Structure 1
């Protein structure tokens, strides 16, 4: 019967093209299961098969656990450390104590169990072998034949016993893939589940579109053209931003191809219904957004860098085109550029801008106690908050025609006073007493730091010189002096401990 084991190992290894060691392990597992059935399923058994002769030995074993271990469960599988040492075993916690027991024969029952284990292990090995071949292809396109389809998704036959799965949510909406059809997909991930590793493919992912563009446009793979970004409503519409790395290349023309041949090939691969717009990327964000809004013509644009949003004005008669069906055009443009885009008619945009400017003018007139002429000049020069008036470098103020040093200092003082009053009234971002009365500190600087979240000497001590120079608009010498002063309690504590 021992020779029978060697025969089984050779036969299965050659038939399934898996290592003999894997089959030996399966046989050992099967014999161990048969042993537990004979002696009681509660025991732990180990079988060791000689790889040359087929002879095997069987051991019953117990895991060594600490005497005080609350997880001690069963004396049939575990043994206390002290008891193991009393029996003469030189072991540590976590080791196993083994005793030889009579082996079961490799008979019909053991052979049947071995067959089941071998089949399971062979399937697992084959699946892992296949998946390993595709690990390096994650993030790339793969081709397969539709093997079957159900409500959960599509199973692709990749060849050489490999299969991939396209979940329903990763399919292009409305697309019908028939059994036997050859399709491409984007290898999104290798997912581990109860059945083992599974190759997940997507046709709706935006990266599927990008990889198709790389495949169909040689200039992209040759790095003559860069794809700067993409946004996609699978099955409906997409936008791809490109730029040329060489001055004599038209990136849009290269991507579209002669008479639209290249982009048509991409569209056909996407199901034939998805419209792909090629957008010229530009480092100037306003220009880039205007390109991304095509085919809508942008007539005006107001940029708010702080909130990364833009108000876009278009011809009122073409407002619906600019927004797109269900807001699709503006949504894709926003996703492509990374900015929040608010589309409106030119009249609405102008009215909104005027209202916002008037609100700032009224704020300056009230808080700075200036007339409308001065407030308008400040707005026209780009000032929009009291913080800017209070802390923008004096040189920028002096560049304004008609502003002298006396007027500038007065405006800055009034703005700082208004901010201080505002902070006190809101009872927020107030400097603590230790910061306010620290040597070298003045009230204006203390309140300015408090607006930046630096309210205590401890907060100040944690800043670097460069950070403080930028936050407080002070020179390096003063910044270093203030930080060292704020850190004095640290050194006093260290000295006391010493």
Structure 2
């Protein structure tokens, strides 16, 4: 009866291995390797306090298991746990010589119950590991893309967004829109910035402020971008308030700005609505710096651009994401001349228009009204904005 029960346990183990291999893609060899290690440790814990060299073997055809200990064949035994005399070894088999490893079965008669529980634990562990691996690979593929989720909870550091699959993505303060309030059960679209493989499952970090979130929204709303006809050359944002997007067309017959704006502004308005009313300036990218600077300062009119390559500086950007890395951008200098009545428009509220234009073009922009260009140098006051 006991033998029949043991055989049933073996068959159940083999059946579980087959299910995991067929349905979860976990190779039987992987389970067998993990299980033999676990059985060896279980034997040491329950039957051998001396830390002998132990090996567990499983027959992957029948599911039967055996436990062996290894001892070195020596002339004179010093450590009986690890050594056996040549005389005793030859009593077992005449084939042994000095220096050989003697492999001796020590499977306890009552080891079946412990082995069955160990096998169950290993199978469940492998199943959990595989499920975590599948979820990790899914979200790793979604890195740098948009996903939908539901606000689950909040603590002092993060808002946690439930993405499904038992995954809660973390969104830190820097990645939260200042014009949005996140309440539990709110549906929210987020941009996946980073995915880490952790022992408890994948750790996903998301953002609502990343410039690439805006890029993905344009790709969804503007077919010409996903088709490669129109290209986004640059995006800068003060999330929740204003953004500038530089676009370029590979087809001379396609207006990149008008294409992104859409009929009656429908395309860009759809994006604005998803960002809680964030204003979006779409400007045409130009290879020629002067023309690009003129476009970037829209809606202000520009009379002239005077370049001074020696008048530049390094801008330290704010740390982005969890790595806290400080990035830098070199701004070459130039003076932008605008009509007197356009000065406030060019600078923008709290300097926002020229600040974003500087970030988009990579130039330090000094804004001067046209009238000051005709005044003596000692009477001029420059308006310097470099994106800081």
Taking structure 2 as the reference length, the TM-score comes to 0.71
Kindly state the Cα deviation for residue 241 of structure 1 after the two structures are TM-superposed. 0.5
Q: Distance in 2 between matches of 1:98 and 1:176?
A: 70
Corresponding residue for residue 337 of structure 2: 313
Q: Distance in 1 between matches of 2:176 and 2:371?
A: 42
Distance 1:42 1:224, change over 3 A: same
Q: Distance in 2 between matches of 1:42 and 1:331?
A: 69
Kindly state the Cα deviation for residue 87 of structure 1 after the two structures are TM-superposed. 4.8
Among residues 271, 280, 284, which one is paired with 2:284 in the alignment? 280
Contact 1:26–1:114 (Cα < 8 Å) also in 2: no
Contact 1:312–1:349 (Cα < 8 Å) also in 2: no
Q: Distance in 1 between matches of 2:54 and 2:136?
A: 32
Kindly state the Cα deviation for residue 278 of structure 1 after the two structures are TM-superposed. 0.3
Give deviations 1:397-425, integer Å, cap 9, x for gaps: xxxxxxxxxxxxxxxxxxxxxxxxxxxxx
**Deviates most, 29-38 or 230-239:** 29-38
2:229 equivalent to 1:220: no
Alpha carbon RMSD of aligned pairs, Å? Answer: 3.5
Give deviations 1:14-63, integer Å, cap 9, x for gaps: 4894336254444334312212213238556442211111112334579x
Among residues 56, 65, 74, which one is paired with 2:65 in the alignment? 56
Kindly state the Cα deviation for residue 332 of structure 1 after the two structures are TM-superposed. 1.6
Corresponding residue for residue 246 of structure 1: 251
Distance 1:322 1:99, change over 3 A: farther
Q: Distance in 1 between matches of 2:296 and 2:53?
A: 67
Map 1:94-243 → 2, pairs under 5 A: 99-104=103-108, 105-151=110-156, 152-158=158-164, 161=165, 163=167, 165-168=169-172, 169-243=174-248
Kindly state the Cα deviation for residue 285 of structure 1 after the two structures are TM-superposed. 0.6
Map 1:77-476 → 2, pairs under 5 A: 87-89=98-100, 99-104=103-108, 105-151=110-156, 152-158=158-164, 161=165, 163=167, 165-168=169-172, 169-270=174-275, 272-306=276-310, 307=312, 308-316=332-340, 318-348=342-372
Contact 1:57–1:100 (Cα < 8 Å) also in 2: no
Contact 1:5–1:54 (Cα < 8 Å) also in 2: yes
Q: Which has the higher contact order (CA 8 A, sep 6+)?
A: 2
Contact 1:295–1:322 (Cα < 8 Å) also in 2: yes
Of Structure 1 and Structure 2, which has the larger fraction of its residues in helix?
1
Contact 2:31–2:122 (Cα < 8 Å) also in 1: no
Kindly state the Cα deviation for residue 181 of structure 1 after the two structures are TM-superposed. 4.1
Kindly state the Cα deviation for residue 310 of structure 1 after the two structures are TM-superposed. 1.2
Taking structure 1 as the reference length, the TM-score comes to 0.57
Distance 1:223 1:48, change over 3 A: same
Distance 1:41 1:305, change over 3 A: farther
Q: Distance in 2 between matches of 1:98 and 1:277?
A: 79
Contact 2:69–2:106 (Cα < 8 Å) also in 1: no
Q: Distance in 1 between matches of 2:296 and 2:235?
A: 10
Corresponding residue for residue 39 of structure 2: 31
Kindly state the Cα deviation for residue 148 of structure 1 after the two structures are TM-superposed. 4.5
Unaligned runs of 5+ in 1: 63-74, 78-85, 90-96, 357-498
Corresponding residue for residue 47 of structure 1: 56
Q: Distance in 2 between matches of 1:183 and 1:76?
A: 63
Q: Distance in 2 between matches of 1:189 and 1:340?
A: 31
**Could you say what secondary structure the match of 1:52 adopts?**
coil
Q: Distance in 1 between matches of 2:376 and 2:60?
A: 84
Kindly state the Cα deviation for residue 76 of structure 1 after the two structures are TM-superposed. 8.8
Give deviations 1:223-244, integer Å, cap 9, x for gaps: 2212111111222211100122
How many equivalent residue pairs?
A: 326
Unaligned runs of 5+ in 2: 1-5, 72-79, 83-96, 313-331, 381-388
Distance 1:6 1:181, change over 3 A: farther
